[in-house]
Amino acid sequence: MNKQNLQLQNARLVDPASGLDAHLDLFVADGRIAAVGQPPAGFSADRSIDAAGLIVCPGLVDLSTRLGSIEPELGAAVSGGVTSLACPPDTKPPLDEPGLVERLVRRSETLGLARVYPIGALTQELSGQRLAEMNSLARAGCIGFSQANQSIDTQLLLRAMQYAATFGYAVRLRPQDQFLARGGVAHDGEVAARLGLTGVPVSAETVATATALLLASETGVRLHLSRLSSAAGVALVRQAKHSGMQVSCDVSIHHLHLSEMDIGYFDSNARFDPPLRASSDRDALRAAAREGLAAICSDHTPVDADGKQVPFAEALPGATGLELLLPLTLLWAEQSELPLATALARVTCDPAAILGIDAGSLRIGSPADVCVFDPAESWRVTAESLRSQGKNTPYLGYEVSGRVRMTLVGGRIVFEA
Amino acid sequence: MRNPQLNANGELTHLLSIEGLPRAVLTQILDTASSFIEVSDRDVKKVPLLRGKSVFNVFFENSTRTRTTFEIAAKRLSADVINLDVTRSSTAKGETLLDTVDNLVAMHADMFVVRHAASGAPHLIADHLRRVGRNDVHVVNAGDGRHAHPTQGLLDMYTIRHYKKEFTSLVVAVVGDILHSRVARSDINALSTLGAAEIRAVGPQTLLPTAIERMGVRVCHDLREGLRDCDVVIMLRLQNERMNGALLPSAREYFHCYGLTPAMLALARPDAIVMHPGPMNRGVEIDSDVADGPQAVILPQVTFGIAVRMAVMGILAGN
């Protein structure tokens, strides 16, 4: 697949970064966005694509994708319109060695599907004991550092932030106090009480969030808080931003739609970390995403059947998400009566800005990472319809709207349906 | 989502939890149990309801009393009973729960009586049987984690109905470690379905689940307030491991604040009954004078338990 000159015709072009939402043609040349509306001088299309009835938007940027097997998951990414993704460091082995990071980057570049941005381990082996070689990891391709879901004591966290701030690296934390969350598998609320499940209190998130915010403001590190789950958690971030702090956060697409009630009768597909919380929390996460306080991530976590066909508390947390990110974002937009450009900003230009990467926009000169989808086409979520090896989702059997028809990465057609 | 315990006709095919069961189903079980009470008084203590059927007691967690009463109940229904102590066999060899179930189904089990340390394990088994098309195999939850112990809940309701005749005027206090108690959850669900006037959850904050009030109970941290003018007192067992200082400072202090003594019981109605799912910790949650006193109905609970378990198995086998 060489870099072709492409013309996408008759589509509705939505570019959240510029607020553009209009019926215009898009021209791609040399792997980049060449023009919008009128062709650039001397342009001749190798291929013209009739996209009537379809929407053309920037390829989605996902803040948190666990890859498992690289090839099928990157295939799943582009079939879901995701063209850039950040990979948290809790791979096996964890991303604490420059060699591992280089290999991941090279492997993904060879595949030529979605672009992979590794997040390095903040501490060696993510053990929370010794700082990882952040500078070497950054040179190998890491664009930020994180403890993934592992805990770290506050003294080492302070040191890690100081060290990261020295070089201007971003630190990402999934805020959860290990002591308050100990043994917990579900939101410490009504459903956990009824089903006899050990609860994770909201304070596990707020205590860790407050700690991270205080230490970040002391060190001046660029902080991103991943996968907030509670109303009180996003309220702390909102407050910090109002006081002028440079902090960003995201929520998972699942937490935007689901609540503790979706555990139903111990559905292990609804086991998440952090847990699905009360519906009032979900409403607050929706408000945070609506106002632009929080970006949206897929929190893609493929888990095989063995990891889910066990009692709820023993099940591995997480859900497959890459192929549901777009449909569920569209569903949220529809339910919340949001302009499409606003909703898509949360999965394109906003996460790109958080990651500091040149992606998520259809600006002239930008890399031609493009998603073309049919907003009206509905499809049923089944094990067969998902390309990811992870078939674990609470949405199994559900009908969703929004089907990706074509994905471009750097001007190359990497997916077409 | 249909309650996974009921078939399309609303009949009971598994007993996994009291939650969500219609009042009519609970009443049917209690009425059927009544008819089985006299079987236990006969010379030949058997009815042929489950003749030719195999009941597998699959206990992933140790239990003597519950397993024995299920075994007696199944035998009185003329079933073949196979006891598996899974804690010491397959799981120790790394077999998964559902692999164990598949193997037992291949041995032509008709009914599983399951106890498991994880909340929801019997639901998982029932769901698995549905997916593999074995709707003819029934599951009875004999206690899963902190979630449910429905036959205990039902035998508690049988006991209450036996002594109090009806539920709608009753004030019931459930006292103790509700956080870790599957019995408490089943009792609370059963009492609210049967229309008890007031259900009180009594204990220190560390032993009550967050949001317990959403189960329709009145929370009392003071034992006196919890017991005042109540008709039924259900004391819960306090596990030894709860007294290690993380949730309670000591057994002594617990008894001082929440132990049921004759003086405390005097706050309840004079005809109040005292229940306990057993085994009791005398001097921890209950004073011997109360446990052996005229208001205790703890041993009748055990007797009724056999009839209730016969009723559950008999009804399941017919659906």
Distance from CA of A188 to the nearest CA of B (A): 6
A67-86 per-position pLDDT tens digit: 989 999 999 999 999 999 99
User: How far apart, in whole angstroms, are the C-alpha atoms of residue B223 and residue B210?
Assistant: 19
**Which listed residue (A90, A96, A188, A299) is catalytic?**
A299
pLDDT at B39: 82
Q: Percentage of residues in chain B with pLDDT exceeding 90?
A: 86
User: How far apart, in whole angstroms, are the C-alpha atoms of residue B189 and residue A43?
Assistant: 72
B117-163 per-position pLDDT tens digit: 999 999 999 999 999 999 999 999 999 999 999 999 999 999 999 99
CB B50 within 8 A of CB B315: no
Nearest residue on chain B to A308, alpha-carbon basis:
B124
CB A193 within 8 A of CB B211: yes
User: How far apart, in whole angstroms, are the C-alpha atoms of residue A241 and residue A204?
Assistant: 21
| Average pLDDT of chain A, as a whole number | 97
- The runs of H, that is alpha helices, within A134-271 are 134-140, 154-167, 190-195, 202-219, 231-242, 253-257
B186-240 per-position pLDDT tens digit: 999 999 999 999 999 999 999 999 999 999 999 999 999 999 999 999 999 998 7
B93-128 per-position pLDDT tens digit: 678 899 999 999 999 999 999 999 999 999 999 999
Nearest residue on chain A to B149, alpha-carbon basis:
A196
pLDDT tops 90 at residue A251: yes
pLDDT at B93: 67
The mean pLDDT of B5-9, rounded to a whole number, is 92
pLDDT at B112: 97
pLDDT tops 90 at residue A197: yes
pLDDT at B90: 59
The mean pLDDT of A293-312, rounded to a whole number, is 96
Hunting for tokens 């970064």 — which residue is that? A17
User: How far apart, in whole angstroms, are the C-alpha atoms of residue B113 and residue B122?
Assistant: 9
Tell whether B124 lies on the interface with A, counting CB pairs under 8 A: yes
Active-site residue flag, A299: yes
Q: Across the interface, which of A190, A309, A311 has its CB nearest the CB of B119?
A: A311
Nearest residue on chain A to B3, alpha-carbon basis:
A265
B263-301 per-position pLDDT tens digit: 999 999 999 999 999 999 999 999 999 999 999 999 999
pLDDT tops 70 at residue A1: no
Rg of the Cα atoms in chain A: 21
Q: How many CB atoms lie within 10 A of CB A70?
A: 18
pLDDT at A302: 97
pLDDT at B72: 96
B120/A265 touch (CB, cutoff 8 Å), yes or no? yes
Q: Closest Cα to residue A85, out of A400, A361, A262, A299?
A: A299
The mean pLDDT of A197-204, rounded to a whole number, is 98
A–B: how many Cβ contacts below 8 A? Answer: 78
Distance from CA of B143 to the nearest CA of A (A): 11
pLDDT at A195: 97
pLDDT band at A37 (very low <50, low <70, confident <90, very high): very high
Identify the residue among B147, B178, B242 best suited for mutation to test binding to A, counting A beta carbons within 10 A and taking the highest.
Answer: B147
Lowest mean pLDDT among A145-149, A186-190, B86-90: B86-90
Tell whether A304 lies on the interface with B, counting CB pairs under 8 A: no
3-state secondary structure chain B: CCCCCECCCCCECCECCCCCCCHHHHHHHHHHHHHHHHHHHCCCCCCCCCCCCEEEEEECCCCCHHHHHHHHHHHHCCCEEEEEEHHHCHHHHCCCHHHHHHHHHHCCCCEEEEEECCCCHHHHHHHHHHHCCCCCCEEEEEEECCCECHHHHHHHHHHHHHHHCCCCCCEEEEECCCCCCHHHHHHHHHHHHCCCCEEEEECCHHHCCCCHHHHCCEEECCHHHHHCCCCEEEECCCCHHHHCCCCCCCHHHHHHHHCECHHHHCCCCCCCEEECCCCCCECCCECHHHHCCCCECHHHHHHHHHHHHHHHHHHHHHC
Model pTM?
0.94
Identify the residue among A180, A195, A197, A262 best suited for mutation to test binding to B, counting B beta carbons within 10 A and taking the highest.
Answer: A195
pLDDT tops 70 at residue A175: yes
Residue A153 DSSP label: -
Phi, psi at residue B10, to the nearest 5°? 75, 15
Q: How many CB atoms lie within 10 A of CB B235?
A: 25
Q: Across the interface, which of A195, A306, A309 has its CB nearest the CB of B147?
A: A195
Going edge to edge, which strands form the sheet with B80-85? B80-85, B54-59, B111-116, B138-144
> How far apart, in Å, are the Cα atoms of B172 and each of A399, B12, B268, B286?
46, 27, 10, 17
User: How far apart, in whole angstroms, are the C-alpha atoms of residue A267 and residue A264?
Assistant: 6
Phi, psi at residue B139, to the nearest 5°? -120, 130
Both tokens assigned to A47: 């291929």
pLDDT band at B89 (very low <50, low <70, confident <90, very high): low
Tell whether B148 lies on the interface with A, counting CB pairs under 8 A: yes
Quote the distance between the C-alpha of residue B48 and its chain's center. Answer: 25
Q: Which B-chain residues 157-196 have CB contacts (< 8 A) with chain A?
A: 182, 185
pLDDT at B84: 87
pLDDT at A342: 98
Q: Closest Cα to residue B282, out of B227, B232, B237, B250?
A: B237
Nearest residue on chain B to A315, alpha-carbon basis:
B118
pLDDT at B62: 84
The tally of CA atoms less than 13 A away on the side-chain side of residue B171 is 15
Distance from CA of A354 to the nearest CA of B (A): 36
Tell whether B278 lies on the interface with A, counting CB pairs under 8 A: no
User: How far apart, in whole angstroms, are the C-alpha atoms of residue B153 and residue B183?
Assistant: 6
Q: Across the interface, which of B97, B98, B185 has its CB nearest the CB of A196?
A: B185
CB B63 within 8 A of CB B83: no
For B31, residues 6+ apart whose C-beta sits below 8 A from its C-beta are none
The mean pLDDT of A208-218, rounded to a whole number, is 98
pLDDT at B91: 61
A90-119 per-position pLDDT tens digit: 999 999 999 999 999 999 999 999 999 999
Lowest mean pLDDT among A282-291, A313-322, A377-386, B62-71: B62-71
For B229, residues 6+ apart whose C-beta sits below 8 A from its C-beta are B171, B267, B268, B269
CB B126 within 8 A of CB B16: yes
Partnered with residue A224 across adjacent β-strands are: A172, A248
pLDDT band at B92 (very low <50, low <70, confident <90, very high): low
Tell whether B14 lies on the interface with A, counting CB pairs under 8 A: no
User: How far apart, in whole angstroms, are the C-alpha atoms of residue A117 and residue B76?
Assistant: 66
Both tokens assigned to A178: 């290990």
A310/B182 touch (CB, cutoff 8 Å), yes or no? no
pLDDT at A158: 98
